Structure 1
């Protein structure tokens, strides 16, 4: 088990090394001092000049940046999440002052109030102005800084779209005010909370208490996830919480899996093509990304339409594929299959034949297309 974990960590950090990390010093008027930043840019950031990227903001970047950046790069490489810009704030011993709050109202105070404004009024606008960013931001914090990111929930609208709370050391009232605030937030919020069975007792108990309330909240705009890792300490839970959080927050972004194909698509009574369109509309609405539909997802929904005999959905999927991938056989194959099932063999034959000079995709080869055309010729005597 230890060897497997070591191999995985080596792979993650090896992948991270191929992403571009830049170091900057930010002169903050709010803080009256300079702060060091670590910024990991996605692979091919410099060449993909039309592409925009979500932001993952990491507090406690002195030790939290590398595990977050490594996971973001790894998940992005396999398309389990969008490629993203990771911004880390170096804090060191200043983290305690940065996270300071008032003893009476428990809101950021003194240096904590300055740090709150530094992030919202200086740092994030700077990142937006100097990098190609999508309108989706996740914040990551651990104990004191995990508590701190929750203050941005009380802005209207909240500054962040996602909150990854790793063993938060909550201020005395924030774990009760969060459940009161959530129902009043109109924008979509992703909220992840993690503790461990061997976490610091007080922090584990407060996380468990908050979880008991949050899991009962019913809201279409609040996506909540919780882990209590067996055997995990205050520090080791970080390594397990980060990938779990990213996987859950970006679940809708992932390519359609075999499980989704079997458990969802093959059991759908509503049009399958609409499921495909809705998936990418959700990606656009949530993450600010207008991605082309993946070939994998065209094939999954096309095959499911065939299996369930949703022929009109198959036609819609074929026409979408022809528009997005006109130089491939993808759309022609599914359109030809539609014509076959609709009793229009001549149209099917011509559609299959028309793809003889196009790029092959997955199992759909030019030979397969011509074989299907030839079989129609034999069957119908054309």
Structure 2
């Protein structure tokens, strides 16, 4: 519990000291009124002029925006998720009109339809026009608004790529509609539901009922996650659900961990180089992000390739490291290791020697490079 409180304090301090919130008003023709929104841009938004960012859309922005924005800032700082633009819609008591549904078909009624169209036809296009956005949007809602974000599932294609449902207060028939739709959507969807053992009884039972249906869906494009937090109430589960949801949705984005190294990389029978390339291909396809491969991921896959004696993977990954980080010793060191193991010691020695003026990385220092070159020279008499 103490660790959890400390984490929350760190997030809030980090958020308040580093982030700047922009307030805007949008004159909406769809709802016939002015809608206030909050926007948090990534820390380095102004300096990274060519970079594009996913959108995290937050309903109930008057109280849900800050915990979402704080977690997004914290997780992206540690590269556990991509930097993102957080957009909060300030609703207050209007949330019940904004997200209202018809009592016969249980779809958005007149007011709900106006708000539905405001988000899809005015708000998102406005954010896309004014800011550098990637084509990946996550929606976040709590109880009544959590139900509402699910209506975007039924667009073709869905407006949102990810859905974070915090103690959802589902409309009648919605659970079955969600299950049927998620089983049929051909594109990749991320879907998260959170409840708690002390949540409102009807909402907890509804979330558990939906979970029983969704966990049976066998779809390669559905990424589904469910949490039932022990001791969490309707309100406290929000603080636990948000980081869990972000962590799970963006799991593929995270740097390669020790567990992934031991349980996946060291046991691979297929080329480890393909695993690395596939990881970043998925990141690009899902989030619209074309970053360089992280040094951490280069080190992990190269070390695993060396340990499992996948020397062709060492060669291919090292060549990519030389291209992406030409001023670093990283690619040169492992390219030298490849030539050592493939029987071309002279070429390995030259590569080691040529890296004397490059930037050191982790354990790969200039001295290590020159020592390997000297050992080859002594062993072979070059």
Q: Corresponding residue for 1:168?
A: 168
Q: Structure 2 CA distance, aligned partners of 1:246 and 1:44?
A: 20
Q: Corresponding residue for 2:298?
A: 298
Q: Please state if 1:90 is matched with 2:90.
A: yes
TM-score by length of 1: 0.99
Q: Structure 1 CA distance, aligned partners of 2:154 and 2:62?
A: 27
Q: Structure 2 CA distance, aligned partners of 1:126 and 1:103?
A: 32
> What SS does structure 2 have at the residue aligned with 1:79?
coil
Q: Structure 2 CA distance, aligned partners of 1:62 and 1:195?
A: 21
**Cα deviation 1:122-141 (Å, max 9, x = unaligned):** 00000000000000000000
Q: Corresponding residue for 1:235?
A: 235
Q: Structure 1 CA distance, aligned partners of 2:295 and 2:274?
A: 16
Q: Structure 2 CA distance, aligned partners of 1:316 and 1:344?
A: 17
Where in structure 2 are the equivalents of 1:126-275 lying within 5 Å?
126-275=126-275
Alpha-carbon shift at residue 5 of structure 1 (Å): 3.2
**Cα deviation 1:147-202 (Å, max 9, x = unaligned):** 00000000000000000000000000111111111122111100000100000000
Alpha-carbon shift at residue 9 of structure 1 (Å): 1.6
> What SS does structure 1 have at the residue aligned with 2:27?
strand
Q: Please, which runs of 5 or more residues in structure 1 have no aligned partner?
A: none
Q: Structure 2 CA distance, aligned partners of 1:363 and 1:21?
A: 40
Aligned residues: 381
Q: Structure 2 CA distance, aligned partners of 1:134 and 1:14?
A: 28
Q: Structure 1 CA distance, aligned partners of 2:47 and 2:291?
A: 17
Q: Corresponding residue for 1:378?
A: 378
Q: Structure 2 CA distance, aligned partners of 1:21 and 1:368?
A: 47
**Cα deviation 1:314-360 (Å, max 9, x = unaligned):** 00011000110111101100000001111111011001001011111
Q: Corresponding residue for 2:9?
A: 10
| Mean Cα deviation higher: 5-14 or 181-190 | 5-14
Q: Structure 2 CA distance, aligned partners of 1:21 and 1:34?
A: 19
Q: Corresponding residue for 1:277?
A: 277
> What SS does structure 2 have at the residue aligned with 1:293?
coil
Q: Structure 1 CA distance, aligned partners of 2:370 and 2:121?
A: 61
Q: Structure 2 CA distance, aligned partners of 1:180 and 1:337?
A: 53
Alpha-carbon shift at residue 16 of structure 1 (Å): 1.3
Q: Please state if 1:42 is matched with 2:42.
A: yes
Q: Structure 1 CA distance, aligned partners of 2:22 and 2:310?
A: 50
> What SS does structure 1 have at the residue aligned with 2:83?
coil
